[in-house]
Amino acid sequence: MRLSSEGISVDIADQITAILADRHHQLPTVRDRITRWTALDQQLAALSGAFSDPNTLKLGEAGPDRFTEVRLSEARAAVADVLERLRALEARFARSTVNIGVSGSARVGKSTMLQAISGLDDRQVPTGTGIPVTAVRSRIYHSASRERALVSLHTFETFRRDVLEPFHAALRLPVLPESLAAFRTWTYPARIEDHLGTTEESPTLRAQLTRLREIHRALPTYEQDLVGGEREVSLANLRQYVAYPTVEEREAAGGAHRYLAVREVMIECPFPNRQVDQLGLLDLPGLGEVDANADTRHVAGLRGEVDVVVMVLRPAEGIAYWRDVDNGALELLKEVRGGIGSARDFVFLAINDAEPDRVRLAGLRQSITSLANDETPDVHYRVLEADAHCPGDVHGRILAPVLLHLAERLPTMDREVFAAAIAGADTVLARIRTAVEDLETALRVLRQRVGVNESLHGHASRLRAMLAIELRHIVDDLRRQAEESAEDTEFVETLERTFDETVEWIQDGFGVGAETWTRRAFEDMAKLGNASAFAVDELNFIRVDISRRFAGLSDLFAGRVQAVWGQVAEALRRHLGVLLADADRDRPDEALRRFVELLNDAEEPCPTLAQAVSGLLDVRIDYQSQLYPRVRAALASLNQEIKNPATGEVVHQTAVEISEGGAEQLYTTTSRLAERAAHQAKRALLAESIAPTMILYAVVEHFADHLIRSRESEGEFRRLARSYRDDIWPAEFHQIGEANARVTRLRAAVREIASTLAELEKSL
């Protein structure tokens, strides 16, 4: 492996770039999964809301009520867990940088180490002794062209939620101020005993109450910043937004606490020792602070945002050994690993060995080996060492090994995070699928219970009779048209118009003009030494074009079919209540397809009725299948060679001499043949002028027989009535109908969930 003078592999930058590119390629897949799981969560929420509606029926012990109380809440929690993992994965793959999180307790040199890598100073990454200094989580990114800080500010609502609420919960203060004005005049107890009514020692609670009172007293120094949004700040003026007041500031005038209005800070600046351009550092404030839940809040910001964490330790007085707070920090970081199998891949322990006391340094090393690594060096956590005050030392002994580790192990870590994000998704889906099927079964039983009514049989019989009458009118009208008309006037008029347009096209020189056609014929004849090739091609072109022109009759036939579909659809619409009310009247085929879906998807399916309607939808009357065979003989005459009917000999129809006169003769002969073929085609089609009406008459009569008079018809009309009673006769069964309609809505919600489940199961 080739190394640079800083000990960094010169290939690392290319490897990091390739890893980031691979992540971006996987983003569409991750986002598609998020979209589908979000839809499922919304559908489960809608179903939960439907059950909580006081108008919803109590469904008894058959299952649905119990489902809503227990299984639905469990399902939503499981979906939320999957979504949380997928969104963390999305954040990880969407980043354009590899991010190193840097954490550690106060006074261990974390900020000094960040300064060494980023080139920033105390104005952006404050350092200090004696008290915690850094108060706000910062993101620091290398940028060759920008030096700036974007400060993300709280509104009072987010300040209330993220800052005040954890203190109130820890101190068991039951009420929160609802507004900034209320917080200004809020009164907090002076002592923890005044609030809890006990004299029992509680150092943590005392410290938290003291901290909360300080936040309250300092409000005038930061309330002007509780405006939300982002504010660009120069790096020279950043410290007041990210650091606690210094001791001197506190003693002088209480100090400004503007950091309390800050959610986080993003810094862009050129790193001084650039090994990898796509590098980000996440600065986490010291763990173990007095702020309620500070550790958890800071670590929560790492999910999906960091690729590795460097935890800084220092062998200083009082902290020169592995402590409980360090174990606590590692426990918190377990939540952030996101499925990475090995803690050694995700966490490095970095000893700041600037401490001159070698005995304390040796003690810290031994303590880490014993308590964090089970007596085996680096077995669980790799330990690095560098002097945080020496940038070269930090780059060579900490940053270089971490970047090399990322280049080598990040693809494996990404695969583990992806696998963990979707792990268990199949189990979640199976659980929800089982619950939904149980609910659907219970709803079906309930619908049958509340929907049974003997009068339905009479309604179904009348519906069948009324549709029979409607269809008889349509059939009789088509029969009269077929029997009483000598010819189909509209068909004849369309045919005559097509013939006239065809003759006009022929007489106009086949669309190019007689002169042009003749000139082209002569040029081709002169070039090839005969007229046959040109004549053959032209006759073929003319035959195809004439056939295409007559094929325009298909539009007429399609309109006839649509008209019949429209009559049937309107007949159904008139007698099916609101069942087809939403169907587009301008698209009768869509209305009939919708009816087929309703028949197939009914609580009690009606396959014979669905087959009858589907058969009507399959009807096609077109030129190619019905009429072209009639004109084929007429168009066959448009060939160079034909058989003499008297002698049986093959003769050439267009034999001419090779001259301009011959070309003109060829044009005359071709025009005559084309007009004769068009005329013969028209005559053949006129003989079929009544055929479309006869076909439609036969088709609709068969449809009516199939729908009304088949062996299964009576039973399936009863099924249709039971399945869609409240849609077909909404006013007939008011009380029962209301209950059934609610069940129907619930069933629709359940079916929607089932559809989404099927899509998600396919994506696994």
- pLDDT digits 0-9 by tens, 19-53: 999 999 999 999 999 999 999 999 888 887 776 65
Given a contact cutoff of 8 angstroms between Cβ atoms, the answer to whether 737 and 31 are in contact is no
* Residue 734: per-residue pLDDT: 55
Q: Rounded to whole angstroms, how far apart are CA atoms 568 and 161?
A: 62
Given a contact cutoff of 8 angstroms between Cβ atoms, the answer to whether 736 and 453 are in contact is yes
Label residue 379 by pLDDT band (50, 70, 90).
very high
Ramachandran assignment for 511, one of left (phi > 0), alpha (psi -120 to 50 degrees), beta (any other): left
**Nearest one of 363, 330, 354, 357 to 344, comparing CA atoms:** 330
* Residue 5: per-residue pLDDT: 39
* Residue 140: per-residue pLDDT: 93
* Residue 579: per-residue pLDDT: 86
Given a contact cutoff of 8 angstroms between Cβ atoms, the answer to whether 338 and 304 are in contact is yes
Given a contact cutoff of 8 angstroms between Cβ atoms, the answer to whether 603 and 723 are in contact is yes
**Helix, strand, or coil (residue 281):** strand
> 569 φ, ψ to 5°?
-60, -40
> Does residue 442 fall inside a structural domain?
yes
Q: What number is the average pLDDT over the span 734-749? A: 66
> Does residue 265 register a pLDDT over 90?
yes
Sign of CA dihedral 40, 42, 45, 47: negative
> Does residue 748 fall inside a structural domain?
yes
Residues 600 and 483 occupy one common structural domain: yes
> Does residue 294 register a pLDDT over 70?
no
Residues 89 and 11 occupy one common structural domain: yes
Hey, which residues does 281 pair with through a beta bridge?
Answer: 100, 140
Residues 431 and 471 occupy one common structural domain: no
* Residue 702: per-residue pLDDT: 86
Counting the structural domains of the chain, the total is 3
Residues 677 and 627 occupy one common structural domain: yes
> Does residue 220 register a pLDDT over 90?
yes
What is the distance between the terminal CA atoms of the chain, rounded to a whole angstrom?
39
CA angle 539, 544, 549 (to 5 degrees): 125
pLDDT digits (tens, 9 = 90+) for 496-523: 888 898 889 988 888 889 899 899 888 8
pLDDT digits (tens, 9 = 90+) for 607-664: 999 999 998 888 777 666 656 666 666 677 776 666 655 665 655 666 778 888 888 8
As given in the structure block, the two tokens for residue 224 are: 């002007």
Given a contact cutoff of 8 angstroms between Cβ atoms, the answer to whether 752 and 50 are in contact is no
Of 159-168, 341-350, 688-697, the range with the lowest mean pLDDT is 688-697
Label residue 4 by pLDDT band (50, 70, 90).
very low
**Nearest one of 64, 68, 66, 65 to 49, comparing CA atoms:** 68
Residues 701 and 738 occupy one common structural domain: no
**Helix, strand, or coil (residue 749):** helix
As given in the structure block, the two tokens for residue 71 are: 């299984």
> Does residue 584 fall inside a structural domain?
yes
> Does residue 204 fall inside a structural domain?
no
Domain-ending residue, one of 417, 441, 474? 417
Q: What number is the average pLDDT over the span 199-208? A: 73
* Residue 100: per-residue pLDDT: 94
Label residue 208 by pLDDT band (50, 70, 90).
confident
Q: Rounded to whole angstroms, how far apart are CA atoms 596 and 601?
A: 8
In angstroms, the Cα distances linking 281 to 265, 315, 399 are: 12, 24, 11
> Does residue 554 register a pLDDT over 90?
no
pLDDT digits (tens, 9 = 90+) for 421-466: 888 888 888 888 888 887 777 777 665 554 445 568 888 889 999 9
Number of H-type helices and E-type strands within the chain: 31, 11
Residues 620 and 670 occupy one common structural domain: yes
Sign of CA dihedral 107, 112, 118, 122: positive
Ramachandran assignment for 612, one of left (phi > 0), alpha (psi -120 to 50 degrees), beta (any other): alpha
114: CATH? 3.40.50.300
Q: Rounded to whole angstroms, how far apart are CA atoms 606 and 199?
A: 77
DSSP state of 490: H
**Going by C-beta distance under 8 Å and a sequence separation of 6 or more, which residues neighbour residue 130?**
107, 247
Of 244-253, 327-336, 588-597, 624-633, the range with the lowest mean pLDDT is 624-633
Residue, of 176 and 618, whose pLDDT is higher: 176
> Does residue 58 register a pLDDT over 90?
no
Of 50-64, 240-254, 734-748, the range with the lowest mean pLDDT is 50-64
* Residue 95: per-residue pLDDT: 93
**Nearest one of 177, 183, 217, 210 to 195, comparing CA atoms:** 210
As given in the structure block, the two tokens for residue 324 are: 């409980």
Label residue 63 by pLDDT band (50, 70, 90).
very low
Residues 380 and 494 occupy one common structural domain: no
> Does residue 589 fall inside a structural domain?
yes
Label residue 205 by pLDDT band (50, 70, 90).
confident
> Does residue 368 fall inside a structural domain?
yes
Given a contact cutoff of 8 angstroms between Cβ atoms, the answer to whether 170 and 293 are in contact is yes
Label residue 688 by pLDDT band (50, 70, 90).
low
* Residue 448: per-residue pLDDT: 54
* Residues spanned by the domain of 116: 98-154+228-417
Residues 569 and 449 occupy one common structural domain: no
Q: What is the pTM (predicted TM-score) of this model?
A: 0.60
Residues 436 and 413 occupy one common structural domain: no
Q: Where are the alpha helices (DSSP H) in 687-733?
A: 691-709, 713-723, 725-728
> Does residue 268 register a pLDDT over 90?
yes
> Does residue 737 register a pLDDT over 60?
no
Q: What number is the average pLDDT over the span 288-312? A: 70
As given in the structure block, the two tokens for residue 235 are: 């790096």
State the amino acid at position 21 in one-letter form. A
Residues 268 and 412 occupy one common structural domain: yes
Beta strands 308-313; 98-103: pairing state: parallel
**Going by C-beta distance under 8 Å and a sequence separation of 6 or more, which residues neighbour residue 551?**
623, 624, 628
* Residue 190: per-residue pLDDT: 85
In angstroms, the Cα distances linking 607 to 547, 555, 599, 716 are: 41, 32, 7, 8
**Nearest one of 341, 285, 348, 295 to 100, comparing CA atoms:** 348
> Does residue 749 fall inside a structural domain?
yes
pLDDT digits (tens, 9 = 90+) for 104-160: 887 788 889 999 999 998 888 887 654 555 667 889 999 988 999 999 999 999 999
Residues 694 and 761 occupy one common structural domain: no
> Does residue 211 fall inside a structural domain?
no
**Helix, strand, or coil (residue 441):** helix
* Residue 76: per-residue pLDDT: 86
pLDDT digits (tens, 9 = 90+) for 558-607: 788 888 888 998 989 888 888 888 777 888 889 898 899 999 998 899 99
Given a contact cutoff of 8 angstroms between Cβ atoms, the answer to whether 683 and 480 are in contact is no
Given a contact cutoff of 8 angstroms between Cβ atoms, the answer to whether 543 and 678 are in contact is no
**Going by C-beta distance under 8 Å and a sequence separation of 6 or more, which residues neighbour residue 495?**
550, 553, 682, 685, 686, 689
Place of tokens 């559908």: 43
Residues 104 and 91 occupy one common structural domain: no
* Residue 6: per-residue pLDDT: 45
Instruction: Round the average pLDDT of the chain to a whole number and report it.
Output: 82
Q: Rounded to whole angstroms, how far apart are CA atoms 463 and 572?
A: 10
Of 84-88, 368-372, 467-471, 619-623, the range with the lowest mean pLDDT is 619-623
